[in-house]
Amino acid sequence: MLELDLRSRLPIYEQLVEKIKTLIMEDVLKADEQLPSVRTLAQELTINPNTIQKAYKALEREGYIYTVKGKGNFVQKIEKGDQREKLMLLKTELKKILSEAIYLGMGKDEILKVIEEVENNVGRDQND
């Protein structure tokens, strides 16, 4: 489920962050569900526990999980209100990538198709 590309130029801990974020967004990991412990996951993926720790800390800072001392890490139910700051950043990134894509010839129809596709994946829990 958590496949890492050790050769990627993207640091391992960032890959972990991305993957786990995706699982949360797609509702595979449900709110308040417990994540595997740092040690367990480290063993499973045969990578350094410090790397897992770093990923979990990042996810916590971004509001995707919360930590209960002595218990473990759990999926945070995101409040879809107070995310203005984060959304501003994403908007900026979105503009950058869309600019280059359009400049290089990606058509509006193709972009719309991507949006639809993404909506279907992410929106899953909204239909529940």
List of residues contacting DNA (CB under 7 A)? 9, 11-14, 35, 37-40, 47-51, 53-54, 56-57, 67, 69-73
Return the one option of its own copies, DNA, none that residue 114 interacts with (CB less than 5 to 8 A, by type): its own copies
Which single residue is written with the structure tokens 């139910």?
77
Q: How far is the CB of 48 from its own copies (least distance, A)?
A: 10
User: Does residue 30 bind its own copies (CB under 8 A)?
Assistant: no
Picking from 118, 2, 106, 1, the residue whose alpha carbon sits closest to that of residue 51 is 2
User: Does residue 106 bind its own copies (CB under 8 A)?
Assistant: yes
Instruction: Select 25 or 49, whichever has its Cβ closest to DNA.
Output: 49
Instruction: Select 49 or 74, whichever has its Cβ closest to its own copies.
Output: 74
User: Does residue 104 bind its own copies (CB under 8 A)?
Assistant: yes
Exposure of 23 in the CB half-sphere (CA atoms within 13 A): 21
Q: How far is the CB of 103 from its own copies (least distance, A)?
A: 4
Q: For the purposes of burial, counting CB atoms within 10 Å of the CB of 75, is it exposed (0-12), middle (13-18) or buried (19 or more)?
A: buried
Alpha-carbon span 113 to 106, nearest angstrom: 11
Return the one option of its own copies, DNA, none that residue 98 interacts with (CB less than 5 to 8 A, by type): its own copies
Contacts to its own copies from residues 46-65, by CB under 8 A: 61
- DSSP calls for 11-67: -HHHHHHHHHHHHHHTTSS-TTPBPPPHHHHHHHHTS-HHHHHHHHHHHHHTTSEEE
